[in-house]
Amino acid sequence: MKVQGTVGESLKKHVITRTLATKEFVWFIASALLALPIFILFKALSAIFIGTAKKPSKTSKPSHTRRKAKRAH
């Protein structure tokens, strides 16, 4: 409720955003501001723990071989 009040006040201060200061839009922005840190934390933790998957070794044979170049006549 406090976040919604702050967002609503800040939207009503400016002439350009005054028309956007509806009850629904203020609720949406306040919800997004509260969810944003959780989303960023989730992305950071998933990059740390899931990003450490084992990479294939370089000694394995490549899946495709280089083709022989055509000779010009």
Instruction: For residue 9, give both structure tokens.
Output: 């006040």
Global pTM? 0.55
The pLDDT value recorded for residue 72 is: 75
The pLDDT value recorded for residue 36 is: 94
pLDDT along the chain (73 residues), means of 10: 89 90 92 93 90 62 69 74
